[in-house]
Homo-oligomer: A and B are copies of this chain.
Amino acid sequence: MDKLAVSILGGSGYAGGEALRLLLFHPHVTVQQVSSQRFADKRVTRVHPNLRGVTELTFCRLDQVEPCDLLLLCLPHGQAMGRIDKFLENAPRIIDLSGDFRLRRIEDYQQWYAQPHKRPDLLAEFVYGIPELHRDSMRDARCVSSAGCNATAVILALSPLFRAGLVQRDHTVVEVKVGSSEGGNAAGEASHHPERSGCVRSFKPVAHRHTAEIVQELGAGEPLGIHFSATAIEMVRGVLATCHVFLKDDLDEKDVWKVYREAYGAEPFIRIVKEREGLYRLPEPKLLAGTNYCDIGFVRDPHSRRLVVISALDNLMKGAAGQAVQALNIMHGFEETAGLDFCGLHP
């Protein structure tokens, strides 16, 4: 079988680098081109030094990109929607990792991204990129919009409960703890090591964009109170979402277990982590660096109707490039785990 020819646009960023790493080892894919305006004509190893010895590829410019089987767009937010026609000319399938096509309602986009959407006509065409929720739509999709990293962690954590209607819809409070790679590879004062190191920075206590994705996917069109905050901590990769939901009924942990088991028992990249002993009784992002897992656990508060659901993932993997490759596999009928079998390191 011929390998699938994939080109990565915006390949010098962190998500682009992860996509490149994954696809270079993917059994059914060949990386055709990788673009970067800033590093055009330089080797990809100039910015992704982990790929030394693995590839001799150099970056091309965006205007040098040639037709291929799939384009993986890792461009900054706002760039994909302006050039989407050109991209669709170049490839029959597209996976976009930016926020451009994640929201189905144009007014949501304008509210949360504070700019008009350039191609509202295409919003309906993009499948929201969480395979565990939209696997069937992905199979025939021309376009997939990869989900936000924090949004993925929260949606996967809470979807089974919301779908089953077990949760009070107004009182959910979610706090994500995130690493510095979430801010991308552009240096600035906020990421200057002496300032960022050791931080517990409440960088988005309210009004985080990913809230819109979470409400869209969990609310199923109905209004929903998701109170979301994001705190940056000393970590490079990783998201831990701590989700406080309030149960309608007095379910015990066994009942909750069943709900998750039914929802995710067959999922290759979701592990229900809830153990009685050891140091890793609940999900822990550091175990997931480089993997495509989303680990999910939960604890019932004995003093109230609160259930604390905890999920962890690698923001560059299940929160970006890994999930995109998972979508690519589904779109092309490959085994869903192809190229994604790294299980993570300990310690």
Contacts and interface: CB of A to CB of B under 8 A. Distances in A.
A268 to B, nearest CB: 8
B287 A200 contact: no
Contact of A236 (B171, B198, B207): B198
Nearest to A287: B50
A346 B49 contact: yes
B286 A198 contact: yes
A250 interface: no
A196 interface: yes
Contacts of A179: 194
A281 B205 CA distance: 12
Given A199-B284, A271-B52, A306-B227, A194 B181 contact: yes
Nearest to A47: B278
Contacts of A14: 194, 347
Nearest to A347: B194
Given A47-B278, A49-B280, A345-B289, A177 B195 contact: no
B271 A242 contact: no
A139 interface: no
Interface residues of A, number: 92
A342 B339 CA distance: 11
Contact of A345 (B177, B185, B290): B290
Contacts of A234: 197-198, 233-235
A173 B310 CA distance: 15
Interface in A10-62: 14, 17, 21, 24-25, 46-54
Contact of A202 (B211, B240, B303): B240
User: How many copies of this protein are present in the complex?
Assistant: 4
A90 to B, nearest CB: 28
Nearest to A184: B194
A202 B25 CA distance: 30
A277 B46 contact: yes
Contacts of A199: 284, 286
Contacts of A344: 50
B343 A50 contact: yes
Nearest to A25: B341
A308 interface: yes
Contacts of A206: 299-303, 306, 308
A200 B236 contact: no
A315 to B, nearest CB: 11
B194 A191 contact: yes
B181 A347 contact: yes
A244 interface: yes
Given A46-B275, A49-B287, 19 more contacts: A14-B194, A24-B343, A47-B278, A50-B344, A53-B293, A54-B343, A177-B177, A185-B192, A191-B191, A194-B347, A197-B234, A198-B236, A202-B297, A202-B310, A225-B304, A231-B242, A237-B345, A290-B345, A342-B342
5 contacts: A53-B293, A202-B282, A206-B300, A207-B302, A237-B347
The 8 closest A-B pairs by CB, nearest first: A194-B347, A187-B192, A49-B280, A206-B301, A193-B196, A180-B193, A205-B308, A234-B234
